[in-house]
Amino acid sequence: MLLNKVDMDVLKARQKSMWMSGDYAKFATYLVDGAIDFLAAVDIDPDAKVLDVACGAGQTAIPLARNGNDVTGIDLAGNLVEVAKKRARADGLSARFDEGDAEQLPYEDASFDVVFSLIGAMFAPQPDRVAAEFARVCRPGGRIIMGNWTPGGFVGQMFKTMAAHVPPHPGIPSPTLWGDEATVRERLGEYVTDLKLTRKLYPFKYPFGAAKVVEFFREFYGPTNRAFSTLDDDGQAALRHDLEVLWARHNQSANGILYLESEYLEVQAIRRS
């Protein structure tokens, strides 16, 4: 079922509200190691002009700016953009941050050497528009890079668990399809060459156990925060139970702390000339 413009505008407004709920800047503090590993693996040239799409509070844009890159970050959530700006100013960095939509980027054609998104643009509801916009603002011969949760990885299972309690909006593709190789080839194929898809593992490390991790997500992570807020007390208890079981089952550590690795798909490609 395709949504009309009015319905899509309503959905986007709800998504924006969702990502502005909680506190993603605090939530992301435990994800820094994985983000730095991702940046090291994709090896962006320090001379490259970079666009970080769905940049959050600057978790990847700030390290790139420190590395010497000319970086622009864009995110749907205006409160996160403001946090990113403050962080850049505090560090004396010239990184630019804009509020905007991954499906309608406010930049000229071929403006960037690298366009990338780590666990961000995959949540936009119209993936074909995301692919087209990534290609439009990336210069010919430039790089398009993504890191996306896979359907079968831990985070994919977490989303399925939440969806069993709070069904997603009908007619919107699952975000984790950006972690499916065949789907990525279909979405990006007309725009890129040298498409390389690699399954990797992202570390989740918390100095507390599964029950507190679930509460941490409920308080600070927009999608989980919003899922809980839509349920009554019994529904919240059931969702909390299922999430705690999921986290505990995948925990590879002990002694009241939590460690697991979630699969994601690393996407690297060259923009067609």
Q: What is the pLDDT of residues 72-99, one digit of tens each?
A: 999 999 999 999 999 999 999 999 999 9
Say what the pLDDT of residue 8 is: 86
Residue 134: pLDDT over 60: yes
Confidence at 207, pLDDT banded by 50, 70, 90: very high
Say what the pLDDT of residue 229 is: 95
Confidence at 5, pLDDT banded by 50, 70, 90: confident
Residue 6: pLDDT over 70: no
β 70-75/96-99 pair status: parallel
Confidence at 117, pLDDT banded by 50, 70, 90: very high
Give the model confidence (pLDDT) of 160-192 as tens digits.
Answer: 999 999 999 888 999 999 999 999 999 999 999
Give the model confidence (pLDDT) of 35-68 as tens digits.
Answer: 999 999 999 999 999 999 999 999 999 999 999 9
- Are 271 and 133 in contact, with CB atoms under 8 Å apart? no
CA–CA separation, 178 vs 185, rounded Å?
Answer: 10
Q: What are phi and psi of 219, to 5 degrees?
A: -80, -40
Give the model confidence (pLDDT) of 95-112 as tens digits.
Answer: 999 999 999 999 999 999
Residue 196: pLDDT over 90: yes
Say what the pLDDT of residue 2 is: 55
Sorted by sequence, the CB contacts under 8 Å of residue 83 that are 6+ apart come out as 25, 57, 58
Residue 4: pLDDT over 90: no
Say what the pLDDT of residue 171 is: 82
Q: What are phi and psi of 261, to 5 degrees?
A: -125, 130
What are the chain's domains? 5-271 (3.40.50.150)
- Are 69 and 42 in contact, with CB atoms under 8 Å apart? no
> In the β-sheet with 70-75, what is the strand arrangement from edge to edge?
96-99, 70-75, 49-53, 112-118, 138-149, 258-271, 192-206
